[in-house]
Amino acid sequence: MTQQDRWLTAASFREADRVPIELQISGAARKHPACARLVEFIDNQADNFVGMPGGAQWGFFGLTTKYSEEVIEDVPDRYLRKRKVHLTPVGEFHAITRHFYPHVNSPDFQWERRFVHTLADLERLAEAPREVCTFNPDAYFEARAHDDGRAVRALGVVHALGNLVRQGNMQEAYMWLAGEKSVMHRFLQRINEQVRDTILAMGAAGMASWFSVCAHEMLIPPWIGHRMFDEFVFPYDKMVNDAIHQIGGKLRAHCHGNCMEFLEQMVDMGIDAIEPLEPAPFGDVDLAEAKRRMHGRMMLSGNIPSQNFPSCTPDDVRQWVREAIQDAAAGGGFALRTTGGHAGVNIDLDEDVLVNVIRNVEAYIEAGLEYGAY
């Protein structure tokens, strides 16, 4: 059984030979000698969900863009500041970011100004002319022809509101949900119609696939509650997800945080799989209860709290893995996955901490193989 077959068997709510074990680490970590065992497992046994070429070019909120950035201030040994620009058919959107030494190339940085800074910026996006985004069927089918079965391949789908609260002025974006509803609904309707039409065009080209989306962790408590979710998330997501299902695809969502009481809405609006299902205190997911509610309706992945890996022991990890398998593995529909990015393997950690993290990731793998057999 290939890794791809194993994951898809679980996603169809059947038991494979064992519970799928997901694990990925960064490119930099792959080069670290201490990660050799992890790399060997990832390359040969891990049951991962990864991107594939040929998908839609979503641009900047669905608009074609010419992106550029420049350093506007560099204070050696302290920080540098960048001005980042998207030049679109409706004008320029720019952000200012601050990056701290010695990690100026890290994906973590401080926003000083975000791209969608004012209501006028939002209105420009809401009124912009839109058309089906470009995609590349040749690249897609080339990748399919050379698929070696080592992972499930997925195409990304943009999420208008999820992007807005990350790429926009965060405080204002949430206030616009309450105080500028007409503009917000116009923005969401226009972009999600564009996303829907693009997905339908991809389907017409034969590009039925799993899709992946990253947004919903910013669209649940403490950010917004059920009323706003039902008004600003559910109908627009369902429009897009219905299109995915219409072409024969399925959707997996990435959602940290307090999603337990939103799982019903998420499955009803068409999400087919979700990760990483964080337990307390990082989230609020009771895995056994989530399994009871979602079995046969939504594939569950995650629940192993790798945020604890810097300080916990391998015995702790083995217990968490054993309990997760007991709670959710029966009948398929579950994959092991850590809840933190790259399982906490960060080569910038102090050496003793990194060693402990790697030891705990190895325990995660070993326990998954030991306890996960059906």
Per-residue pLDDT of the chain (374 residues; tens, 9 = 90+): 999 999 999 999 999 999 999 999 999 999 999 999 999 999 999 999 999 999 999 999 999 999 999 999 999 999 999 999 999 999 999 999 999 999 898 888 999 999 999 999 999 999 999 999 999 999 999 999 999 999 999 999 999 999 999 999 988 999 999 999 999 999 999 999 999 999 999 999 999 989 999 999 999 999 999 999 999 999 999 999 999 999 999 999 999 999 999 999 999 999 999 999 999 999 999 999 999 999 999 999 999 999 999 999 999 999 999 999 999 999 999 999 999 989 999 998 999 999 999 999 999 999 999 999 99
Q: Which domains does the chain have, with CATH numbers?
A: 3-63+116-371 (3.20.20.210)
Q: Reduce the DSSP state of residue 286 to 3 states and report it.
A: coil
Nearest-CA neighbor of 249 among 157, 332, 162? 157
Say how far apart CA 61 and CA 133 lie, in whole Å.
11
- The predicted pLDDT at position 106 comes to 84
- The predicted pLDDT at position 120 comes to 97
Which tokens hold the place of 305?
């709290």
The number of beta carbons lying within 10 Å of the beta carbon of residue 84 is 16
Are the beta carbons of 100 and 78 closer than 8 angstroms? yes
Q: At what angle do helices 36-44 and 351-371 cross, to 10 degrees?
A: 40
In the chain, what is the straight-line distance between the N-terminal and C-terminal CA atoms, in Å? Answer: 13
Over its C-alpha atoms, the chain yields an Rg (Å, rounded) of 21
DSSP state of 332: S
Q: In whole angstroms, how far apart are CA 286 and each of 283, 294, 310?
A: 9, 12, 23
Residues across the chain: 374
DSSP state of 150: S
Q: Reduce the DSSP state of residue 146 to 3 states and report it.
A: coil
- CA torsion sign for 71, 72, 78, 79 is negative
